[in-house]
A and B are shown apart, each in its own frame.
Chain A
Amino acid sequence: MAEVFFFLGGIGAIAGAIGVVALRNPFYTVLALVCHLLSLASLFLLLRAEFVAAAQVIVYAGAVMVLYVFVVAYVGGQAEPLRAAGGPSLKVISVLAGVAIFTELAIAVLGSGLAGIDSEGAGYAVGFGTPEEIGRLLLTRFLFVFEAASFLLLIAAVGAVVLARRRGGLEHEGTS
């Protein structure tokens, strides 16, 4: 049964990713990314990362994507013109680069000879991936990381406000 769900989630995630790259209208691109994120959350659930899957759906597919939709609606989701920037040769080279990256990653990961890579993973311990376990790890062993992340979020919020101010976001202070 897990195989069926894995292939459903994997095909959904890859189809969403291809939709993000291939669709011309930015609005449909955002919707394709939402589909991708939901499929990815199902894969996280299969890997027994329950809290991360829930956070993925609520924070990512919910909040962050709404931000994208607002900006697309504000900026105007005009479709890209069909001409390629550097001609068709740039596209061919980009696709080749993507294929090369995939080949390299596959060789690097599958050729690493890790013992657990062909297994289903370590035995399931009770509480693995639950909010309780994640919270305990975040507030004990990874407390510094947690604080650094919250500080980073604060800086990013201030930076976004400074950048997107109503007048002269990128100009001198005196004009604002």
Chain B
Amino acid sequence: MAIGWYLTVSALIFSIGAGGVLVRRNPLVILLCLELMLNSANLALIGFSRMHGNGDGQIFAIIVMVVAACEVTVGLGLVVAMYRRRLRIDVDELRELNG
């Protein structure tokens, strides 16, 4: 398969994830949609790595996975903290920082 096909799939998954971040209100699901976007970026990086026959893109993808793991731990910590404070798990309810 030509690399362009992989890049098209990656763009499609990225836009689905971006739409999900805009549509959904549960912070857990928003985190999952962020994962979708990061993974589509990984697919594009690995596609480019294959295109150039160079391993650097794969290292980049692994680092992106590390950053995604960090984002997940901090994000899930925030969700658990919200739950402990008896807040509703809904991003629209967290309006205190709204100017």
Chain A residues with CB under 8 Å of chain B are 2-3, 6, 10, 13-14, 17-18, 20-21, 26, 29-30, 33, 36-37, 40, 43-44, 46-49, 51-52, 55-56, 59-60, 64, 67-68, 71-72, 74-75, 78, 80, 85, 90-91, 93-95, 97-99, 101-102, 105-106, 109-110, 114, 116-125, 128-129, 133-134, 137-138, 141-142, 145, 149, 152-153, 155-157, 159-164, 166, 169-170
Contact = CB atoms under 8 A, between A and B. Distances in A.
B68 to A, nearest CB: 8
Interface of B: 1-9, 11-20, 22-26, 28-29, 31-33, 35-36, 39, 42-44, 46-47, 49-56, 58-59, 61-63, 65-74, 76-81, 83-85, 89, 92
A64 B69 contact: yes
A1 B38 CA distance: 28
A20 B20 contact: yes
A66 B50 CA distance: 31
Overall SS of chain B's interface:
helix
A166 B31 CA distance: 22
Contacts of B78: 163
Overall SS of chain A's interface:
helix
Given A6-B1, A105-B15, A75 B28 contact: yes
Contact of A52 (B13, B18, B46): B46
Contacts of A95: 19, 23
Contact of A152 (B51, B70, B85, B92): B70
B77 A134 contact: no
B48 to A, nearest CB: 9
A102 B56 contact: no
10 cross-chain pairs, A with B, having the tightest CB-CB distances, nearest first? A122-B53, A98-B19, A156-B70, A163-B77, A94-B22, A102-B15, A21-B20, A105-B11, A160-B77, A169-B81
A51 B37 CA distance: 21
Given A20-B33, A119-B3, A110 B26 contact: no
A98 B13 CA distance: 10
Contacts of A55: 62, 65
B6 A33 contact: no
Given A46-B1, A74-B83, A159-B77, A134 B46 contact: no
A43 B43 contact: yes
5 contacts: A17-B16, A21-B17, A49-B61, A67-B76, A94-B19
